[in-house]
Amino acid sequence: MEARSPMLIKEAEMEVCDMELSKKSSETAFQNADKIIKDWDHFQDQVTWLRESLSELKKEVRTLTEDMDELKPDLARSEDDVAEFLTKYDHANHAQEVTAKALVEANSESNELVDKIAQFEDAVEALKAECSSLKEKNHELERSTEDAVRAGVENFLDSV
């Protein structure tokens, strides 16, 4: 009986070590989930910034279009005025093309961000499910640890 008690104590100690490792694993998973949530928040801020940038670019396009419309009556002026107008028109047209390209790029990035948002949402949901499962396992481990310690103490007391 006395030889059995140290063995029971050793088994109880090993179970406690296993449970502590499982608890650390759960804590790491919670930390990873917090990091993903922070990344998600940063990601949403980037999407908001892109949307605001798109809105500003659209306003610039409207302004440039209005400027071009205002320049059209200048065509009736003298050749010097026409040459000057054409230069302004070329600059405005170039600016509009650059703005249009920027809008296309921003839209493409926005679409990529939307895809990434969906991926992040899926990852967050998966982590929530994993956290829930880990919490349940942690509760089970705590109960079994208490039971194992209680049984070990009882066995030890019985053997004494």
DSSP string, 98-151: HHHHHHHHHHHHHHHHHHHHHHHHHHHHHHHHHHHHHHHHHHHHHHHHHHHHHH
Specify the 3-state DSSP secondary structure of 1.
coil
Looking at the whole model, is its pTM more than 0.75? no
Q: What is the mean pLDDT of the chain?
A: 84
**Structure tokens that stand for 150 in this block:** 């209680």
**Structure tokens that stand for 9 in this block:** 């104590």
What CATH number has the domain bearing residue 47?
Answer: 1.10.287.1490
Exposure string (b/e) for 107-130, b if CB count within 10 Å is 16 or more? Answer: eeebeebeeeeeebeebeeebeee
pLDDT greater at residue 128 or residue 70: 128
Q: Is the pLDDT assigned to residue 152 strictly greater than 90?
A: no
What pLDDT sits at residue 75?
Answer: 54
Query: Distance between CA 33 and CA 112 in Å, rounded?
Result: 22
Q: Is the pLDDT assigned to residue 76 strictly greater than 60?
A: no
Number of domains in the chain: 1
Query: Distance between CA 160 and CA 155 in Å, rounded?
Result: 9
pLDDT greater at residue 137 or residue 84: 137
Q: Is the pLDDT assigned to residue 77 strictly greater than 80?
A: no
- Residue 120's domain spans which residues? 4-159
